[in-house]
Amino acid sequence: MDTKVKNKKSAAAEDDIGRDIRLELFRMQLELRLCEKRAYDLFLQNLIKGTSHLSLGQEAIAAAFGVAMRPDDYTFCTYRGHAHTLARGASMTGVLGELMGRECGLLGGKGGSMHLTDVSKGAMGSYAIIGAHLPVAAGAAWSAQYRGTEQVAVCFFGDGTTNIGAFHEALNFSVVWKLPVIFVCENNLYMEYTPISAVTAVEHPAADRAAAYNLEKIVVDGNDVDAMYRTATKYIDRARKGGGPALIEAMTYRHSGHSRADPGKYRPEGELEKWLEYDPIKIYRERLLGLGIVEATLTDIEGEVMQQVNEATETAKASAPPSLDGIYQHVWADGGAAWRN
Amino acid sequence: MAELTYRDAVAAGIAQEMARDERVVFLGEDVAHAGGVFKATVGLLDKFGPKRVRDCPISEQAILGAAMGAAMTGLRPIAEIMFSDFLAVCWDIVANEIAKSRYMTNGQVQMPLVIRTANGAGSRFGAQHSQSVENWAMMIPGIKVVAPAFPADVKGLIAAAVRSDDPVLVFEQKSLYPFKGEVPDGEHVDELGKARVLRRGKDCTIVALALMVHRALAAAEILEKEHGISCTVIDVRSLVPLDTLTILAEVAATGRLVTVEENPRLCGWGAEIASIIADECFWELDGPIIRITTPHIPLPSADHLEDNTIPSVERIVREISEKID
């Protein structure tokens, strides 16, 4: 207790972000990291089947937006979406359960890793076709604008998405209709196996296209959660007040390959090591200590999050396989699957 | 009863629903100020204003994506895809996103939206503006599919589609837009998944859709008068859900099934109906099932070629009179 009181007087409390938000950002990044690492471990134990696309190394972006967003805002993300879904407050048991194909899964085992969704938390879906969710996010923003709710839609996607038509259609459409939508490109330097720079006409695949849609060029250090949080807050507020969309390019790096099947051997020697040194959680921990937050506070959080992940893992493991009834449920709004009488 | 054209029935159906429910919005290319390239949505902008009736860029993925996002978050959008052929450029949104989101999320996501599109041949527009693609839509689990043949059904099925909590693809027949017919006065709401028996005969049951319904009816008159063959004609109206009970009963009554389809032959909707009849009504049949379809080719544009490609009244009469005695 004494430590916590003392910490409130630390330098971190004085600036625009402040101590409490910083600890929240630290905790959320850890939740995303440790849950994702657990997902990887469960793969190795063959408890998770199918494919999976990990966000290891990219947590700062989802965490910053997760903390900055209003509970009723909308998130749209990609098949690399475990982190973004968790960042809206979706249950870790629900996420791990879905990855393991259990009854307790967020989607009852019917969506899997690439389609995590928790509508009750504003996590409006993970989309596995590149680019598809950008216009869908625009539509949610249109609905918010039409209903006058001041909700904002945030749409995350990878650098590879910037070369598909839906990206360009959605940007033009959103700007012309002045929609409250934030497009966030997580540029981790590779689409799947190919460097984005090898197949793209501009240096910054998202930001250098912004001018074509009368948007400002925004490039942020996606591994600096403070920078991401400030950017997120600024453009979410602007969109909420009717200022229209933003296109943000966050520079980052994924520590693992594209998917489960990819060891990432195409990366030049030393590149991964360099980025591991610039790990968003590592650098944030150092920053928090530098700002006067005592280490015990951080280790407490680390312990709590590890326990949370362990408990979620055990609960999910203990959950039964989904009932076969689910196969014929929820094709239609009446809950069924009938196509004929 | 008022007499309306098929195209005016489109606007009447949309207007009826927009007046009733503020959540209904309408978007598409050239739909607002221009009133649609087929003039099927004239007057909606004046009636409901630019907030609810919106012109879009030529961005079919954005149009259907936006409709989907809006449907997921509390609106009930109607989106127009100008020609059904253009569904190919936004098919991901239809087939992968709209159709599957409710199922994949175990019922979390709502998807009350309508896609209207002009379908079919007869306008000499060539192979990219004349296709009948109702069979594309029918084979995707998660989308309801209707194709009205008469103005009253246009209005009633559009209203039913808007009120449905499921995504519905409404195929309007572009060559039928000028066709006139009686439409009930006042509120008119039909039901998805109901076929209609338009005439009853004793020798064969013709099952048809959209423009082919009119040709089947004309053929049935000729067959009766000139060949002594009396035909039942069913307007399928709704491919998903499919009213198999009506079709099975009417085929059982005559002992013969003829499908008349504008879509190209392979995997046309009639193949599914033929399969159901073969499975469930085989012992009631007095002879082979006959499928009359557009051949399996892209459509040619010249009037003489197009007229000899999609099933004509003459061809329906010839095939039935040759195969049924």
pLDDT tens-place string over residues B50-84: 999 999 999 999 999 999 999 999 999 999 999 99
B104–A contact, CB cutoff 8 A: yes
Cβ within 8 Å, pair A117-B141: no
Residue pLDDT, tens place only, A317-341: 999 999 999 999 999 999 999 999 9
**Domain locations along chain B:** 2-183, 196-323
Class of domain B196-323 (CATH, top level): alpha beta
Disruptive mutation site among A117, A147, A167, A332 for chain B (greatest number of B CBs within 10 Å): A332
Q: Which of B75, B97, B193 sits opposite A143 (nearest CB)?
A: B75
Residue A112: predicted pLDDT:
95
Return the structure tokens found at A333.
């709004």
pLDDT tens, B138-165?
999 999 999 999 999 999 999 999 999 9
B77 vs A contacts (CB less than 8 Å): 139
- Chain A closest-CA separation from residue B69 CA (Å): 4
CA nearest to A76 within chain B: B69
Maximum Cα interatomic distance, chain B, rounded to a whole number of Å: 59
Q: Is B290 helix (H, G, I), strand (E, B) or coil?
A: strand
Chain A residue numbers with beta carbons less than 8 Å from the beta carbon of B193 are: 341
Which residues of chain A does B96 touch, with a Cβ-Cβ cutoff of 8 Å? 129, 132
The set of residues, in sequence order, having a beta carbon less than 8 Å from that of B271 and lying 6+ positions away, is: B291
Domain B2-183 top-level CATH class: alpha beta
- Told to judge if B129 belongs to the known catalytic residues of this protein, a careful annotator would answer yes
Q: Are B95 and B236 in contact (CB under 8 A)?
A: no
- Give the span between the Cα atoms of B288 and B103, in whole angstroms: 38
Average pLDDT, chain B: 98
pLDDT of residue A264: 85
pLDDT more than 90, % of chain A: 91
For chain B, give the number of residues: 325
Render pLDDT for B285-315 as a digit per residue (tens, 0 to 9). 999 999 999 999 999 999 999 999 999 999 9
Beta strand extents in chain A (DSSP E only)? 74-78, 123-127, 153-158, 181-187, 218-221, 246-251
On chain B, the residues whose CB falls within 8 A of the CB of A108 are: 106
* Structural domains in chain A, sorted by start: 2-318 (3.40.50.970)
Q: Are B65 and B79 in contact (CB under 8 A)?
A: no
pLDDT of residue A10: 56
pLDDT in tens, A44-83: 999 998 888 999 999 999 999 999 999 999 999 999 999 9
**pLDDT given at position A13:** 60
Confidence of residue A11 (pLDDT cuts 50, 70, 90): low
Cβ separation of B51 and A165 shorter than 8 Å?
Answer: no
Q: B55, B97, B105: best mutation site toward chain A, by most A Cβ within 10 Å? A: B105
**pLDDT one digit per residue (tens) for chain B, 325 residues:** 899 999 999 999 999 999 999 999 999 999 999 999 999 999 999 999 999 999 999 999 999 999 999 999 999 999 999 999 999 999 999 999 999 999 999 999 999 999 999 999 999 999 999 999 999 999 999 999 999 999 999 999 999 999 999 999 999 999 999 999 999 999 999 999 999 999 999 999 999 999 999 999 999 999 999 999 999 999 999 999 999 999 999 999 999 999 999 999 999 999 999 999 999 999 999 999 999 999 999 999 999 999 999 999 999 999 999 999 7
- Which of B59, B193, B242 shows the shortest C-beta gap to A172? B59
Give residues 176 to 195 of B whose Cβ lies within 8 Å of A: 193
Residue keyed to tokens 């007057």:
B43
For the stretch A114-140, pLDDT in tens is: 999 999 999 999 999 999 999 999 999
What is the mean pLDDT of the segment spanning A235-240?
Answer: 98
pLDDT classification of A2: cutoffs 50, 70, 90: very low
The CA-based dihedral angle spanning residues A299, A303, A304, A308, taken in that order and rounded to the nearest 10 degrees: 150
**Cβ atoms within 10 Å, residue B307:** 14
Type of residue at A44: L
Tell me how close the Cα of B166 comes to any Cα of chain A, in angstroms: 6
Q: Which residues contact B112 (CB under 8 A, 6 or more apart)?
A: A333, B71, B76, B164, B165, B166, B167
Locate A31 and state its tokens: 């939740």
Q: Are both B2-183 and B196-323 of the same fold?
A: yes
Name the catalytic one among B33, B129, B214, B296. B129
Work out the minimum CA distance from B119 to partner chain A, whole angstroms.
22
Residues of A in contact with B243 (CB under 8 A): 340-341
Query: How big is the A-B interface in CB pairs under 8 Å?
Result: 168
**Chain centre distance of CA B308:** 22
CB B123 within 8 A of CB B82: no
Strands (E), B153-281: 168-173, 180-183, 196-199, 204-208, 231-235, 238-240, 257-264
- Give the closest of A125, A142, A144 to B109, CB-based: A125
Q: How confident is the model at residue A12 (pLDDT cuts 50, 70, 90)?
A: low
Instruction: Give B 260-279 residues with CB within 8 A of chain A.
Output: 276
What percent of chain A is modeled with pLDDT above 70?
Answer: 96
* Contact between A151 and A103 (Cβ < 8 Å): no
pLDDT 10s digits, A73-127: 999 999 999 999 999 999 999 999 999 999 999 999 999 999 999 999 999 999 9
Cβ atoms A285, A298 nearer than 8 A: yes
For A13-17, what is the mean pLDDT?
Answer: 83
Split at pLDDT 50, 70, 90, the class of A184 is very high
- Of B188, B192, B191, B151, nearest to B172 (Cα)? B151
Span A162-181, average pLDDT: 98
Rounded to whole angstroms, the Cα distance separating A208 from A221 reads: 16
User: Is B308 part of the contact surface with chain A (CB cutoff 8 Å)?
Assistant: no
CB A312 within 8 A of CB A35: yes
Chain B nearest-CA residue for A143:
B70
Interface mutation vs chain A, best among B29, B53, B73, most A CBs within 10 Å:
B73
Tell if the CB–CB gap between A333 and B166 is shorter than 8 Å.
Answer: yes
Q: Are strands B2-5 and B24-28 parallel, antiparallel or unpaired?
A: unpaired
> Do residues B98 and B111 touch, judged by C-beta distance below 8 A?
yes
pLDDT score at B49:
98
Give the pLDDT confidence score for residue A5 in this predicted structure: 45
Residues of B in contact with A134 (CB under 8 A): 65
